Homo-oligomer: A and B are copies of this chain.
Amino acid sequence: MSEPERLSRRNAIRQENEQRILAAAEKVFAEAGFGGATMQLIADMAGLPKANLHYYFPTKEALYRAVVQTIFDIWLHAADSFDKAPGPVEGIGAYIDAKMEISRRHADGSKVWASEVMHGAPVIQDYLETTLRDWTAGRAALIQRWIDEGKMAPVDPRHLLYMLWATTQHYADFGHQIETLNGGKALSDKQWKAATESVKAVILRGIGAG
Contacts and interface: CB of A to CB of B under 8 A. Distances in A.
Interface stretch (A9-17, A50-58, A78-86, A151-159): A151-159
A148 interface: no
Copies in the assembly, this chain = 2
A3 interface: no
Contact of A118 (B125, B136, B176, B180): B176
B162 A178 contact: yes
Contact of A202 (B117, B163, B174): B163
A202 B195 contact: no
Main secondary structure of the interface of A (DSSP, over half): helix
A69 interface: no
Given A166-B166, A207-B202, A176 B117 contact: yes
The 10 closest A-B pairs by CB, nearest first: A35-B36, A206-B206, A166-B170, A35-B35, A202-B206, A159-B198, A33-B33, A166-B166, A128-B180, A205-B206
Interface of A: 30-37, 111, 114-115, 117-121, 125, 128-129, 132-133, 136, 153, 155-156, 158-160, 162-163, 165-167, 169-171, 173-174, 176-178, 180-181, 184, 194-195, 198-199, 201-208, 210
24 contacts: A31-B120, A32-B35, A33-B33, A33-B36, A33-B119, A34-B35, A115-B115, A117-B174, A117-B177, A118-B173, A121-B176, A121-B180, A128-B180, A133-B180, A133-B181, A160-B202, A163-B167, A163-B198, A166-B166, A166-B169, A173-B173, A202-B207, A205-B207, A205-B208
